[in-house]
Chain A
């Protein structure tokens, strides 16, 4: 299988090296210049206005585009490097190490109260995003590079898998069969005996002109692994859409007040915030203090004076509201809803409660959820749906040679194989029985 892949890669690269490469060079060069230009302009804008719109996601994407097109200019090895397992493993390893470091360092909410502020290099660390590293430009760059690599790998695997499923390897030599993990030979048996022995097991039979036979089951099994790996791209694209187009804001609303929801035409009213407390006992069983056990806000969302929704929300019961006039298809897909989450609460100077809401807009969530479904389904199928193959042919000595393999569930394949074997061995006795 890997031999086919390698040969393919070679012919392709040779083709790209031909004179027609001049046009490709020009296109890639232009692309690289465009990416470079956009990257520089937006970078300058972004670093001059750090409080402006968050462009990190877009900048990281531009960085990836620039890197890929510059790599493209340097020649034919790019596609091979991008598709390599080595790059994938290196990137994974680097990302994991960085993630571990990230869990030890304080995040941007904690850093102000940590000892890091006294560090002489604090400003530098802050500038390179050390305390917000998972959303820093360079971390996103690494993630996007991994995603690019994954896309290439999926594309390549898909081609090989479909090719093998449509044109399975039927024509094999005796030595190939003898080298299979499960193999045996039966003197005096024919291919018809093999077909009879394997019939009723729902194997698909292929016959090669040279006289070898392949019985195959689960030829599309490798697709489940591809689906599983595809799910990462769903999560990635969903995450990018959410990161680039989505937003998150906090709202502070005292009881009975109404505030504007940023980025939208909506207004939200907090009719009443309520909270239940239970006493916290110390070791002697005396009341030490009180802790909130449940709280909720009665909210009403309006747009142009019209009520869109009224609901009481809790920490585990958020409210999702679609803006008036939003595209109904997008509504259905869940990409337009504004989400109101109960975050915390406060008491105002006048002694009334104020609810603290987290309001966000997260498009791309449907892709993420689809990604989770593909991921859970894909991995289960990939681990438990086997691709089973049994080859048979009559060798030079006239014996029927049978050999097979399965990439998963080997115990159950061994049972299959042994039953086929038994079918091939038992038959003469039955014939002898009828003769007598």
Chain B
């Protein structure tokens, strides 16, 4: 009964259940933001927690059946990312009054896990370069850092929205939502396009996979980008119209709480990224014989690192607060996304495992 095939099926079913749970939870969190219905947010939270349990079980099953930490392909990496986002939110939500931020965090987790489901593949054996315990140390720490930067992004975005609402600048609220969702749509579109155009996967003699965009289908990529952008614009203007009301302000956390959450997330995320890069360097020294080689992933992680280092300097040395800090945290997400996805999809290098 308990053979590996059944476990793999159980793992996939559990993950599908997780995605559906996150979807329903997202709807409930958005419903709560719109109607202030307390029952909705309680149910949303319970479902979210159940989803997290199911996803944990799914990831553990995958770990057990494949014999290695679930961090080696696109599906595993994304599933873990969504897991980290949900876990970070559930913990934050216990300590800070940020229930309404769930309306952006939980749908994000749902979207990430949905994309993960698209990329789902049966567990496979690791390529030789990844067969090391450094895999889970390095990847999980980097994922926690990315998750925290995502949290800082969400809090920063709502800080900007809340500030516009308090100043009664409703046009700016609409613009913020349109920009956010259009940006998100463009990223998802670009990503889908580069996946759809099916770059050729090559495994070199060392067993390191690499992607070659020979005969790259530009139309597929630009088309998906345009569709994503358009959908984002439509959804953004709808959401913006819904949010640009005085009553919406009372449904968001206060400016102080949003500013504090955004900063706290980066103040934990930055040391995490530091450890992530340092463990990566140690592992690179073991596997490739050099601790730093300007591989695109390495270079971009350094760029991300300097970016958030600059954030901390503006805050701690120059005393910046509020909107400026929030803007830096929001823009930082673009850098993080490029380091996490962009490098793997658009540039070639030693990290092209996903």
Contact = CB atoms under 8 A, between A and B. Distances in A.
B181 to A, nearest CB: 26
Contacts of B129: 315-316
Given A292-B207, A315-B128, A379 B271 contact: yes
Given A99-B303, A356-B205, A294 B289 contact: no
B324 interface: no
Given A358-B289, A368-B291, A376 B271 contact: yes
Interface string B188-221: 0000000000000001111100000000000000
Interface in B285-317: 285-292, 294, 296, 299-300, 302-303, 306, 310, 312, 316
A318 interface: yes
A111 interface: no
B281 interface: yes
B212 to A, nearest CB: 10
A91 B137 CA distance: 33
A248 B290 contact: yes
B223 to A, nearest CB: 23
Contacts of A103: 296, 299-300, 343, 347
B183 to A, nearest CB: 19
A318 B291 CA distance: 14
A344 B289 contact: no
A366 B330 CA distance: 38
B281 A372 contact: yes
Contacts of B270: 379, 383
Contact of A383 (B271, B288, B343): B271
19 contacts: A100-B303, A103-B299, A291-B127, A292-B127, A294-B128, A295-B128, A314-B128, A315-B128, A315-B287, A316-B287, A318-B286, A344-B205, A346-B205, A360-B289, A365-B291, A376-B278, A379-B274, A383-B312, A411-B260
A315 B299 contact: no
B348 interface: yes
B306 A96 contact: yes
B290 A360 contact: yes
A110 interface: yes
A380 interface: yes
Nearest to A410: B260
B282 interface: yes
A134 interface: yes
A380 B271 contact: yes
A389 interface: no
Contacts, number: 104
Interface residues of B, number: 43
In this complex, the member of B129, B134, B291 whose beta carbon has the largest number of chain A beta carbons within 10 angstroms is B291
Nearest to A345: B205
Interface in A322-368: 339, 341, 343-346, 356, 358, 360, 362, 365, 368
A278 B285 contact: no
Given A292-B128, A383-B267, A102 B299 contact: yes
Nearest to B283: A316
A346 B205 CA distance: 8
A337 to B, nearest CB: 12
A291 B302 CA distance: 32
In this complex, the member of A103, A356, A362, A379 whose beta carbon has the largest number of chain B beta carbons within 10 angstroms is A103
In this complex, the member of B134, B204, B289 whose beta carbon has the largest number of chain A beta carbons within 10 angstroms is B289
Interface string B138-162: 0000000000000000000000000
Contacts of A314: 128, 131
B132 interface: yes
Q: Which 10 A-B pairs have the closest CB atoms?
A: A316-B132, A134-B294, A344-B206, A341-B289, A344-B205, A372-B278, A103-B296, A315-B128, A293-B125, A379-B271
Interface residues of A, number: 46
A316 B131 contact: yes
Interface of A: 92, 96, 99-100, 102-104, 107, 110, 134, 239, 248, 278, 291-295, 314-318, 339, 341, 343-346, 356, 358, 360, 362, 365, 368-369, 372, 375-376, 379-380, 383-384, 407-408, 411
Nearest to A104: B347
B275 interface: yes
Contacts of A365: 285, 291
Nearest to A134: B294
B104 to A, nearest CB: 25
A92 B274 contact: no
Given A103-B347, A344-B205, A345-B205, A375 B303 contact: no
B289 A99 contact: no
A352 to B, nearest CB: 16
Contact of A110 (B128, B310, B316, B348): B348
Contact of A99 (B260, B274, B299): B299
B201 to A, nearest CB: 10
A383 to B, nearest CB: 5
A34 to B, nearest CB: 32
A339 B289 contact: yes
B278 A343 contact: no
A95 B270 CA distance: 20
Given A103-B296, A315-B129, A318-B286, A96 B303 contact: yes
B287 A99 contact: no
Interface in B100-129: 125-129
B203 A316 contact: no
A229 B205 CA distance: 40
Given A292-B207, A344-B206, A278 B303 contact: no
Given A318-B289, A376-B274, 12 more contacts: A92-B306, A103-B343, A104-B347, A134-B294, A248-B289, A291-B127, A293-B125, A315-B128, A316-B132, A343-B206, A360-B290, A365-B291
Nearest to B300: A103
B274 A341 contact: no
A375 B292 contact: no
Contacts of B205: 344-346, 356
B207 A315 contact: yes
B345 to A, nearest CB: 13
Contact of B274 (A292, A375, A411): A375
Nearest to B346: A104
Contacts of B312: 383
A100 B294 CA distance: 11
Given A375-B278, A407-B316, A315 B131 contact: yes
B286 A316 contact: yes
Contact of B131 (A239, A294, A339, A360): A294
In this complex, the member of A291, A314, A339, A346 whose beta carbon has the largest number of chain B beta carbons within 10 angstroms is A291
Contacts of B306: 92, 96
Contact of A341 (B125, B278, B287, B343): B287
Contacts of B278: 372, 375-376
A196 to B, nearest CB: 33
A316 B289 contact: no
A358 to B, nearest CB: 5
